[in-house]
């Protein structure tokens, strides 16, 4: 017997209801973002390693411990992308699309890769949808991407989510705050977890994101970032709050909120469900310039698809789906003609001509979560009709085969109300 192969640990196949959820979220997000003028771009999954080291930060956990990095056949250092922003910035600079003061609004979708311990909602290959605005710094741009994220969660019927916002301030603000944090933790370093002891030296603000209960208890004594914001940064976050208030976006101030990537400055935010971040982002005003581009500020967010699918309450499989089954006496030519007519009406039709029992065909459609089934057999051929069956209620009705409008309308209806009959 040939050897059976399995996928790598933490790298999954996505199919069935989860794949349907992916498609639904991508569709909703694309439609929403494009209404706001965002353009979709497609980015490579591999880049030079130093792109991520320069943008994300060499001392971050992502770069130092989690990236999939290797040398290609010419000995160049290559990495699978751990996030989308660095590649997006590289792409726009390379295409000379960030010159002048022209605003660029983009979004992208695809797999990201990080070598970390797999657990529910966190995998080594995971999928993100991201959006970004490149333009002069304005709290209206920050508010727009937050508002879009809020609307998307509502479209996906996510319940009980929360939005936390904070400001990381400018470089001077963060420098003062880091010094204050280190001073406050003097004499307590040995009580911190190993990761926090390391981060305190290399990436100080990341200690605030520690999940260790002992560390979190110690950090409750730390001052908030608000006390260290300069006037400009304080005014900026206050204006953002006013805009969110005016647009009815509910939020809370989370003084412990930081982002794990070095390029963030100014406002940052996270949408959480059950204390797990689903959408997160913020502002990064210096990244474009640091990667060789013009002085072009930017802001954006990333959405974790696996987590959003788990939290969403999406509609069942699209109501625009139907199955067409040929039973004894039915003709394939008739089935194909009716299937094509329905497709011209925007309905997705799968066809079942296999030489298996009708019961097995019904089981296949039920497994594929298709509710409406069109049946064509000898009786239907004789009467020039089709039988439409609702798999949820078991009810059926006869519809003239040439009345495509009526058949399409009944397929799209929620239920068939006719009396149940036998096939």
Q: How far is the C-alpha of 288 from the C-alpha of 250, rounded, in Å? A: 31
Q: For residue 413, what are its two tokens? A: 């209806």
Give pLDDT tens digits for 245-278. Answer: 999 999 999 887 877 677 889 999 999 999 899 9
The verdict on 270 and 383 lying in the same domain is: no
The residue range of the domain holding 353 is 321-412
The verdict on 169 and 88 lying in the same domain is: yes
| Domain membership flag for residue 37 | yes
Q: For residue 314, what are its two tokens? A: 């999406």
The verdict on 134 and 270 lying in the same domain is: yes
Average pLDDT over all residues of the chain: 89
The verdict on 171 and 149 lying in the same domain is: yes
Q: How far is the C-alpha of 363 from the C-alpha of 93, rounded, in Å? A: 53
| Domain membership flag for residue 174 | yes
Instruction: Report the pLDDT averaged over residues 416-422.
Output: 44
| Domain membership flag for residue 300 | yes
Q: For residue 10, what are its two tokens? A: 């933490």
| Domain membership flag for residue 368 | yes
Q: How far is the C-alpha of 93 from the C-alpha of 111, rounded, in Å? A: 22
The verdict on 306 and 328 lying in the same domain is: no
Q: Between 420 and 25, name the one with better pLDDT.
A: 25
The verdict on 245 and 326 lying in the same domain is: no
CATH at 165: 3.30.930.10
The verdict on 303 and 325 lying in the same domain is: no
In this prediction, residue 160 carries a pLDDT of 93
The verdict on 133 and 254 lying in the same domain is: yes
Our count of domains for the chain comes to 2
Give pLDDT tens digits for 7-22. Answer: 999 999 998 889 989 9
- Taking residue 285's Cβ as centre, other Cβ atoms within 10 Å add up to 18
In this prediction, residue 422 carries a pLDDT of 41
Which string of DSSP letters, residue by residue, matches 331-379? -HHHHHHHHHHHHTTT-EEEEE--SS-HHHHHHHHHHTT--EEEEE-HH
Give pLDDT tens digits for 313-344. Answer: 987 555 678 999 999 999 999 999 999 999 99
CATH at 371: 3.40.50.800
Q: How far is the C-alpha of 147 from the C-alpha of 36, rounded, in Å? A: 11
The verdict on 162 and 260 lying in the same domain is: yes
* Cβ-contact 404, 386 below 8 angstroms: no
Instruction: Report the pLDDT averaged over residues 343-355.
Output: 88
> Among positive and negative, which fits the CA dihedral 352, 357, 358, 363?
negative
* Cβ-contact 325, 358 below 8 angstroms: yes
Q: Order the strands of the 46-48 sheet from edge to edge.
A: 46-48, 77-80, 69-71
| Domain membership flag for residue 199 | no
The verdict on 306 and 362 lying in the same domain is: no
Give pLDDT tens digits for 191-221. Answer: 889 888 888 887 788 788 787 888 888 888 8
Give pLDDT tens digits for 74-91. Answer: 999 999 999 999 999 999
The torsion angles phi and psi of 327, rounded to 5 degrees, stand at: -110, -175
Q: How far is the C-alpha of 400 from the C-alpha of 341, rounded, in Å? A: 13
Which string of DSSP letters, residue by residue, matches 393-423? T--EEEEETT-HHHHHHHHHSS---SPP---
Q: Which of 288, 311, 334 is the last residue of a domain?
A: 311
Beta bridge partners of 104: 134
Percentage of the chain exceeding pLDDT 90: 62
| Domain membership flag for residue 197 | no
The verdict on 163 and 181 lying in the same domain is: yes
| Domain membership flag for residue 202 | no
What Cα–Cα distance (Å) separates residue 228 from each residue in 165, 169, 223, 266, 270?
A: 16, 8, 9, 12, 21
* Cβ-contact 327, 389 below 8 angstroms: no
- Does the structure show a pLDDT above 60 at 355? yes
- Taking residue 92's Cβ as centre, other Cβ atoms within 10 Å add up to 22
> Among positive and negative, which fits the CA dihedral 194, 197, 203, 208?
positive
In this prediction, residue 316 carries a pLDDT of 58
Residue 370 pLDDT level (bands cut at 50, 70, 90): confident
Instruction: Report the pLDDT averaged over residues 144-170.
Output: 96
What lies within 8 Å, CB to CB, of 16 at 6+ separation is: none
- Does the structure show a pLDDT above 70 at 421? no
- Does the structure show a pLDDT above 70 at 423? no
The verdict on 36 and 84 lying in the same domain is: yes
In this prediction, residue 420 carries a pLDDT of 41
pTM above 0.75, yes or no: yes
In this prediction, residue 241 carries a pLDDT of 97
In this prediction, residue 208 carries a pLDDT of 81
Q: Which of 271, 288, 311 is the last residue of a domain?
A: 311
In this prediction, residue 54 carries a pLDDT of 87
| Domain membership flag for residue 417 | no
Q: Which of 253, 285, 311 is the last residue of a domain?
A: 311
Among the ranges given (54-68, 91-105, 347-361), the one the predictor scored with the smallest mean pLDDT: 54-68
């Amino acid at each position: 017997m040939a050897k059976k192969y399995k996928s790598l640990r933490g790298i999954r196949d996505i199919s069935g209801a989860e794949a349907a959820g992916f498609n639904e979220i991508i569709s909703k997000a694309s439609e929403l973002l494009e209404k706001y003028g965002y353009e979709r771009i497609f980015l490579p999954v591999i880049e030079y390693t130093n792109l991520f080291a320069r943008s994300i930060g060499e001392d971050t956990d992502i770069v130092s411990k989690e990236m999939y990095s290797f040398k290609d056949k010419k000995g160049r250092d290559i990495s699978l992308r751990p996030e989308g922003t660095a590649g997006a910035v590289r792409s726009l600079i390379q295409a000379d699309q960030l010159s002048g003061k022209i605003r660029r609004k983009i979004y992208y979708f695809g797999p990201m890769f990080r070598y970390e311990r797999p657990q529910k909602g966190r995998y080594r290959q995971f999928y993100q949808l991201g959006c970004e605005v490149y333009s002069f710094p304005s709290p209206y741009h920050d508010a727009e991407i937050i508002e879009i994220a809020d609307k998307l969660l509502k479209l996906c019927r996510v319940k009980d989510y929360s939005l936390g916002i904070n400001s990381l301030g400018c470089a001077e603000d963060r420098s003062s705050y880091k010094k204050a944090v280190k001073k406050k933790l003097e004499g307590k370093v040995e009580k911190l977890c190993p990761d926090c002891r390391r981060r305190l030296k290399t990436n100080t603000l990341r200690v605030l994101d520690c999940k260790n209960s002992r560390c979190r208890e110690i950090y409750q004594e730390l001052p908030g970032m608000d006390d260290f914001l300069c006037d400009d940064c304080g005014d900026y976050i206050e204006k953002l709050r006013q805009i969110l208030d005016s647009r009815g976006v509910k939020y809370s101030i989370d003084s412990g909120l930081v982002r794990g990537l070095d390029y963030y400055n100014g406002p940052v935010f996270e949408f959480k469900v059950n204390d797990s971040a689903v959408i997160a982002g913020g502002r990064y005003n210096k990244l474009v310039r640091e990667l060789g581009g013009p002085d072009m500020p930017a802001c954006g967010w990333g959405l974790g698809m696996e987590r959003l699918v788990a939290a969403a309450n999406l509609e069942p499989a699209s109501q625009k789906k139907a199955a067409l089954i040929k039973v004894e006496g039915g003709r394939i030519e008739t089935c194909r003609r009716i299937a094509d007519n329905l497709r011209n009406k925007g309905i997705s039709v799968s066809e079942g001509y296999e030489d298996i029992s009708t019961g097995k065909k019904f089981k296949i459609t039920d497994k594929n979560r298709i509710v409406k089934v069109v049946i064509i057999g000898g009786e239907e051929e004789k009467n020039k009709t089709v039988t439409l069956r609702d798999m949820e209620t078991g009810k059926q009705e006869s519809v003239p085969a040439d009345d495509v409008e009526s058949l399409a309308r009944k397929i799209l209806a929620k239920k068939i109300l006719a009396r149940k009959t036998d096939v």
